[in-house]
Chains A and B, each alone.
Chain A
Amino acid sequence: MTLAEAILSQKVGRRVRPGELVVARVDHAMTIDSIVPTVIDRLEELSAEPCCPERVSLVYDHVAPAANVNVAEAQRRGREWARRTGVNFYEVGRGVCHQVLVEEGVARPGALIVGSDSHSTSYGAVGAFGTGMGATDVALAIASGRTWLRVPESVKVTFRGRPRPGVAAKDAALEMVGRLGADGATYMAVEIHLEDGAERAFGRSERLTLANLAMEAGAKAGLVVPSGEILELYQVPGWLRPTAGARYARELEIDLEELTPRLAAPFYVDNVHPLHDHAGAEVDFVFVGTCTNGRIEDLRAAAEVLRGRRVAPTTRMLVVPASSEVLKQAMAEGVLQTLIEAGATIGTPGCGPCMGRHMGVAAGGERVVSTANRNFRGRMGSPGAEVFLASPRTAALAALLGRIPDEEEAAG
């Protein structure tokens, strides 16, 4: 059995096989400020209440704080619904939904979590089957405590060895998406194996980056086989492991010792290149943050590059911690001090300008280096802006130099 089959078999109560349609018990349903009005509409249409409010979370992160009156009204409606129903509610500034569910212990090994955000695959970092769905599906999961799923085939991706200095989990994740392609894992689970040192090199934070980016290959879930730090942080049930007889639709190996920093160039996440293909291109705006790379490890990596130095005069840099916990930690460690002294500015924990709605959208003709997970045309604002996706270290180097670094500059 693959990890996906093992988890879904538990939730259905019998052995399930790829291709089957099943109705499974959901451990947790998550929704967000931008989707909750539709979720409430659907529940009202069904005359339904949350079946189990303790298994539902509402996180305000996508346009938080509210950017205009429409958003403020929608957020007020969600707050009132959360108070009335008693679902778990996380206010503006608590952080990006996926980071919050990990920090709150909702995402735990073996859980089935549906979220009204595509990057719900992130929960696979801790061995949970996390999957993104639309408002109607999440409303039905909130009402019934269940969801329908097609049991996915799995693609096995094995990362081997330890990355070189200066090479991050983001580079590994981009390489994976580039090799799989934007629809390389559609309807499938990506099962990630870390071996020969990778299980130690990549802790929970790095695994969140990998599971998050699995979505960009079209995956239904991105499950990292629990090992290393995960075994120290969680009690992992014995059944939560792929068995020797597990069958995979495809297998892919990535040697971390050989890997160099990567960029996803406009306008597709699978348009992955080594730095030298774009080195020297001038950069107007650098954004470090999001569910992909807004954790303390990511902020530290950016601060390390910028310590005692200044962001280039032609470039602006925005750092948005993924959660209030990350913000506190960054403050306590002096990471914020370093970043601010270097000329960066800090935003409210949440999604920031990732989807081009507020807090620093990009203008036409501007080039952005972002640590987020999408670079589609118009994603961060103007359809005339170009977004390159990179690791926090590469992004900080781009801010320092005012251009995309070359391999030599990026080497650790």
Chain B
Amino acid sequence: MSHASHTPPPTSRIWLFGDDVNTDDVLPGKYAPFMVGEDVFQNYAFAHLRPEFAREYRPGDLLVAGRNLGLGSSREYAPEALKKLGVRAIIARSYARIFYRNLVNLGIVPFISEEVVDNAEDGAEASLDLKTGVLVMGGRTYRLEPPPAFLLAALAEGSLLEYFKKHGDFPGVE
């Protein structure tokens, strides 16, 4: 399928996941960095669910998932494994709350879209402009809703940690 007039960021592929993908799926507990080493744990991302993922994922490839992504453990090293592999953004129907916080804290943009998930196909090509939230997929253009202002302020500095480092405090909330 051709993408007519756009000349967006380089095209990447979609990795499509279903509903209720939990943090034991994202990174099984036995492959935690403090068990297997800080430098190799990312190689076990989706080790049970999609063993080819860590090997075949290319930075910029898009993760698309269904409902309640990241339920379960608070382990930040699950999304951190994804970050180490080059994941910059995820599109899901909804997120479990700790996973959502962890994504923002690490600087991975958590987009929410029913429409994109409805139409996404595993392995299909897509391109996402992270700054504008414009996604081109299957010849169609989608405008993704940006995260709430508080989180956007954090993401603008790279992550909540970067924000705190720079400003010595949380983004304004009043």
Q: Mark B71-95, 1 if CB is under 8 A from A, else 0.
A: 1111111001000000000000011
Q: Which residues of B contact A239 (CB under 8 A)?
A: none
Q: Which residues in chain A, 354-403, are within 8 Å of chain B measured between CB atoms?
A: 355-357, 361, 374, 376-379, 381, 383
User: Taking CB as reference atom, which chain A residue is nearest B169?
Assistant: A144
A135 near B68: Cβ-Cβ < 8 Å = no
Interface hit among A34-42, A88-96, A275-283, A290-298? A34-42
Cross-chain contact of A132 among B35, B74, B173 (Cβ < 8 A): B74
Quick one: CB contact mask for A134-149 with B, threshold 8 Å, 1 for yes? Answer: 1111011001101010
A71 to B30, CA, bound (A): 11
Asked if B101 and A374 sit within 8 Å, CB to CB, the answer is: no
B125 within 8 A of A: no
Please tell me if the beta carbons of B71 and A182 are within 8 angstroms of each other in the complex.
Answer: yes
Please report the C-alpha to C-alpha distance between residue A356 and residue B27 in the assembled complex, in whole angstroms. Answer: 12
Report Cα–Cα, A67/B34, bound state, in Å: 11
A187, A357, A378: most-surrounded residue (chain B CB, <10 A): A378
Q: How far apart sit A390 and B5, CA to CA, in the bound complex (Å)?
A: 58
CB neighbours (8 Å) of A118 from chain B are 72-74, 98
User: With a CB–CB cut-off of 8 A, which chain A residues contact B35?
Assistant: 63, 67-68, 70-71, 357
Chain A: residues with Cβ within 8 Å of the partner, total of 53
Q: How far is the CA of A137 from the CA of B77 in the complex (A)?
A: 13
> Which B residues touch A187, using CB under 8 A?
97
- CB A19 to nearest CB in B, in angstroms, measures 10
Contact A38 B76 (CB under 8 A): yes
> On chain B, which size bracket covers the interface?
35 or more
Question: Binary interface profile of B, 41-71, with partner A (CB < 8 Å = 1, else 0)?
Answer: 0000000110000000000000000011001
Give Cα distance in the complex from A140 to B21, angstroms: 27
A331 at the B interface (CB under 8 A): no
Whether B68 contacts A182 by the Cβ 8 Å rule is yes
Of chain B, the residue at the smallest CB distance from A73 is B34
User: Could you tell me which residues of chain A, from 1 to 47, have a CB within 8 Å of some CB in chain B?
Assistant: 20-23, 33-35, 37-38, 42, 45-46
- Identify the closest chain B residue to A67 (Cβ): B35
Q: Does A301 contact B (CB under 8 A)?
A: no
Residues of A that sit less than 8 Å from B by CB: 20-23, 33-35, 37-38, 42, 45-46, 63, 67-68, 70-71, 74, 115-118, 120, 132-137, 139-140, 143-144, 146, 148, 182-183, 186-187, 218, 220, 268, 355-357, 361, 374, 376-379, 381, 383
Binding site for A on B (CB under 8 A): 20, 22, 24-25, 28-30, 32-38, 48-49, 67-68, 71-77, 80, 94-98, 101-102, 105-106, 148, 150, 159-161, 164-165, 169-170, 173
Across the A-B interface, give the 5 residue pairs with the lowest CB-CB distance, nearest first: A134-B76, A355-B29, A136-B105, A183-B68, A134-B102
List 16 additional contacts besides A132-B74, A383-B28; criterion CB under 8 Å. A20-B173, A35-B74, A37-B34, A63-B35, A70-B34, A118-B72, A132-B98, A133-B74, A134-B102, A140-B161, A186-B94, A268-B20, A355-B73, A377-B24, A378-B24, A378-B28
